[in-house]
């Protein structure tokens, strides 16, 4: 499998090589054009000056042959180039390099110059193969072309200079490639090393070691990935801790009513096996009640009042078990996305009347002042009434649970024609600030010693969200808690 480092290095190397090659080609071509262009410009200027000089001062008699040597001496003095004087018939009249005179100079630049047009020719010398540049200008007498002055220079020196510069540029390019590759290796290391560390930590987490942490080396995307991974591990550990607390809490919640039910069942069964005297007392057989059965071990007799009390305990504890199981089932349905709302038009004032009737006996038992207020003209809302009742009863159950005798629990419903706001407020012990952000999370219990599964608020929040609303909780320790359920109209 090809790693990230190999892919990065290949990509960097390809880009660097392509860039360097393109720049090298552009630079070498530019240098070549610069040097050869300078040579061409110098020769062209010299040939032009020589042709103008001839036209102004020496072209009066119109006979080029008489002045060829004088012209050659004059034209070749200021230049190192080979100078040739050629007549109208393309015959060589004079040559500063000592070539044989009288021969025909049959080059394209000479032909064009004889036609009256300045011209140049790039090529190689016959015999030696030396690269040369020739510039030819027409020599005129009046409007008539009487000959050609031709400047010829070797390009071998220029080629050597351009070649040396090209070698230097190529060396610089190779050095740039080497430095860039080294920089790419270092850069890839800064990417690959943190990724390898994150991968190692992720593998440890996959094995269940959530205490492992990925170091944040740089404040970039990889650094944020390390922070996210560490946060995920922390959340998993917290959820695992909450799950363990939840299992312990639910186990305790189940064990307590089951113990009471079992104890009283054994008691009643023993009484049923006994002899029922006319006085209403039942005689026990010699059986010992289990420990923590929820009733005292009287030894022999069970009267009718105790029988009624035992049946009441069994009923209450059975209801408690039923509520706990229903809460767990609700949670599992929400987790599976299997909850469906039976939406209908709901009159909240009627719903609050039902809630008041159901919760008032508990308020009296706890000596808590319980107030319910519904604003007049509350609009009907599309909702599942049973689920809304479930939310309110759950919120009120929490309010009563954490409120002492003499305190107050209030329910208030108001509307702004856009939404309905149902407020459940108490003057109880409140929620600590560090617990407040987590109370709607599953399994979370701000006070682990209190009874319950830690799922109530999580289920309430989910129901409200399914209705398209939201739940807002504010609290101050020692002053109470305020829960607002906001539902759209």
Q: What is the DSSP letter of 384?
A: -
Instruction: In whole angstroms, give the CA distance from residue 64 to residue 67.
Output: 5
Tokens of 404: 């002492």
Instruction: In whole angstroms, give the CA distance from residue 287 to residue 268.
Output: 12
Query: Which runs of consecutive H residues, i.e. helices, occur in 207-299?
Result: 221-273
Q: What is the DSSP letter of 127?
A: T
- Is residue 13 within 8 Å of 181, Cβ to Cβ? yes
| Pick from 186, 185, 191, 238: nearest CA to 210 | 238
| Pick from 403, 400, 402, 382: nearest CA to 392 | 400
Domains of the chain: 4-160 (3.30.450.20), 223-336 (no CATH), 344-488 (3.30.565.10)
Instruction: In whole angstroms, give the CA distance from residue 23 to residue 212.
Output: 49
* Residue 288, phi-psi category: left (phi > 0), alpha (psi -120 to 50), beta (remainder): beta
Place of tokens 């939406």: 343
The pLDDT, as a whole number, for residue 298 is: 44
| pLDDT of the chain, 489 residues: tens digit per residue | 467 778 888 888 888 899 999 999 999 999 999 999 999 999 999 998 988 888 887 766 666 887 788 888 888 888 888 899 998 888 999 998 888 888 888 888 999 999 999 999 998 877 678 889 999 999 888 788 889 999 999 888 888 999 999 999 999 999 988 998 888 888 888 888 888 888 888 888 888 888 888 888 878 888 888 888 888 888 888 777 777 766 666 665 666 677 777 777 777 766 665 544 434 444 443 444 444 444 444 444 556 677 777 777 777 777 767 766 776 666 666 666 667 788 999 999 999 999 999 899 989 999 999 999 999 888 899 999 988 998 999 899 889 988 999 999 999 999 988 899 999 999 988 888 888 888 887 666 665 455 555 677 888 888 899 899 999 999 988 889 999 999 998
What pTM does this model have? 0.48
Place of tokens 């186990």: 251
Chain centre to alpha carbon of residue 357: 53
| Pick from 449, 454, 457: nearest CA to 243 | 454
The pLDDT, as a whole number, for residue 471 is: 93
- Is residue 429 within 8 Å of 449, Cβ to Cβ? no
Bridge partners (DSSP) listed for residue 91: 104
The pLDDT, as a whole number, for residue 121 is: 92
Bridge partners (DSSP) listed for residue 402: none
Tokens of 58: 């020496």
Instruction: In whole angstroms, give the CA distance from residue 241 to residue 180.
Output: 50
Kindly report the backbone phi and psi dihedral angles of residue 335, in degrees, each rounded to the nearest multiple of 5, phi listed first.
-60, -35
Tokens of 115: 């036609």
The pLDDT, as a whole number, for residue 250 is: 66
* Residue 73, phi-psi category: left (phi > 0), alpha (psi -120 to 50), beta (remainder): alpha
């Amino acid at each position: 499998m090809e790693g990230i480092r190999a892919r990065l290095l290949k990509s960097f190397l390809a880009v660097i090589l392509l860039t360097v090659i393109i720049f090298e080609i552009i630079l070498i071509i530019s240098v070549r054009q610069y040097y050869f262009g300078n040579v061409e410009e110098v020769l062209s200027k010299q040939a032009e000056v020589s042709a103008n000089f001839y036209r102004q001062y020496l072209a009066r008699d119109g006979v080029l042959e008489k002045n060829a040597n004088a012209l050659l001496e004059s034209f070749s003095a200021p230049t190192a180039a080979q100078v040739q004087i050629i007549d109208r018939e393309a015959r060589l009249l004079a040559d500063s390099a000592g070539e044989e005179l009288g021969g025909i100079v049959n080059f394209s630049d000479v032909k064009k110059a004889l036609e009256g047009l300045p011209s140049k020719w790039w090529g190689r010398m016959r015999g030696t193969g030396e690269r040369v540049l020739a510039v030819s200008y027409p020599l005129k007498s009046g409007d008539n072309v009487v000959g050609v002055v031709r400047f010829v220079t070797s390009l071998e020196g220029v080629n050597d200079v351009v070649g040396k510069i090209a070698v230097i540029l190529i060396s610089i390019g190779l050095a740039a490639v080497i430095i860039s590759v080294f920089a790419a290796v270092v850069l890839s290391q800064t990417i690959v090393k943190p990724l390898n560390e994150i991968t190692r930590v992720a593998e440890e987490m996959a094995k269940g070691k959530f205490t492992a942490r990925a170091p944040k080396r740089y404040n970039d995307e990889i650094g944020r990935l390390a922070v996210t991974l560490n946060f995920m591990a922390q959340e998993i550990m917290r959820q695992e801790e909450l799950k363990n607390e939840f299992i312990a809490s639910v186990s305790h919640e189940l064990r307590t009513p089951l113990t009471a039910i079992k104890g009283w069942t054994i008691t009643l069964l023993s009484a049923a096996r006994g002899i029922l005297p006319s006085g209403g007392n039942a005689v026990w057989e010699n059986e010992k009640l289990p420990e923590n059965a929820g009733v005292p071990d009287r030894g022999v007799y069970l009267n009718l009042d105790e029988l009624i009390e035992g049946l009441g305990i069994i009923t209450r504890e059975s209801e408690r078990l039923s509520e706990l199981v229903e809460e767990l089932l609700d949670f599992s349905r929400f987790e599976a996305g299997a909850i469906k709302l039976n939406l209908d038009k709901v009159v909240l004032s009627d719903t609050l009347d039902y809630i008041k009737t159901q919760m008032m006996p508990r308020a009296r038992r706890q000596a808590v002042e319980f107030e319910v207020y519904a604003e007049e003209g509350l609009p009907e809302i599309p909702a599942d009434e049973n689920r809304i009742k479930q939310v309110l009863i759950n919120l009120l159950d929490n309010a009563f649970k954490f409120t002492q005798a003499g305190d107050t629990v209030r329910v208030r419903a108001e509307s702004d024609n856009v939404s309905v706001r149902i407020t459940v407020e108490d003057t109880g012990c409140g929620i600590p600030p560090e617990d407040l952000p987590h109370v709607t999370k599953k399994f979370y219990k701000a006070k682990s010693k209190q009874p319950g599964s830690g799922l109530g608020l999580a289920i309430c929040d989910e129901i409200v969200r399914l209705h398209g609303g939201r739940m807002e909780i504010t609290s101050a320790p020692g002053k109470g808690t305020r829960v607002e359920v906001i539902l759209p109209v």
